[in-house]
Amino acid sequence: GFRDLGMIPATAAAMAIIMQIVKITVSAPIGHLTDKLSPKRMLPFWALIAALALVPVLVLHNPLGVYISVGLSGIYMVGQQTAFLALVYGLPKPENRSGHYTLQIMTSSLCYAVGPLLIGFMCDALSYRTTFAVVFVLALALVPVTKWLLAPLSADARDYA
């Protein structure tokens, strides 16, 4: 994507700075929103935000689209992690916690390692715009899947405290 948009490799540093500024800025408000509305209600919403974060890159074919997408992705990352962790730590019964947390940590680590590699391979095989379009569709598909997976859980935020 950098090459196609004429962006220098040092752009990655600017993107990391934007991401950190956004994360620091939105963390407290998103935490309060998640506490108020419940993590069960918020998690599918964050999947939708993940899809919307890709739109600027798909619509604007310039560095500004990349920077906007990075900022929106930072919002998604904070929101998704906030809701997900509230569910992870609020769900298991005391007798299941050690195995539950171990499985969650291993699964998350695997996804954080393999996910970027798969996206990198897709970007190498396809254009960045095609890759982002595919990921956009996958993120949209994640909204109903997330709702379905969370259906049996309580919508009351106090149940995860």
Residue 103 has what pLDDT?
Answer: 85
| Distance (Å, whole) CA 161 – CA 154 | 12
| Distance (Å, whole) CA 113 – CA 147 | 25
| Distance (Å, whole) CA 43 – CA 153 | 12
Question: 90-118, pLDDT tens digit by residue?
Answer: 776 777 677 788 888 898 899 889 988 99
| Distance (Å, whole) CA 81 – CA 55 | 21
Question: 3-25, pLDDT tens digit by residue?
Answer: 777 777 788 888 899 999 999 99
| Distance (Å, whole) CA 28 – CA 5 | 34
| Distance (Å, whole) CA 42 – CA 147 | 10
Other Cβ atoms within 10 Å of 107 Cβ, number? 10
8 A C-beta contact, residue 76 and residue 46: yes
More confident residue, 45 or 155: 45
8 A C-beta contact, residue 50 and residue 73: yes
36 pLDDT higher than 80: yes
The whole model's pTM is what? 0.82
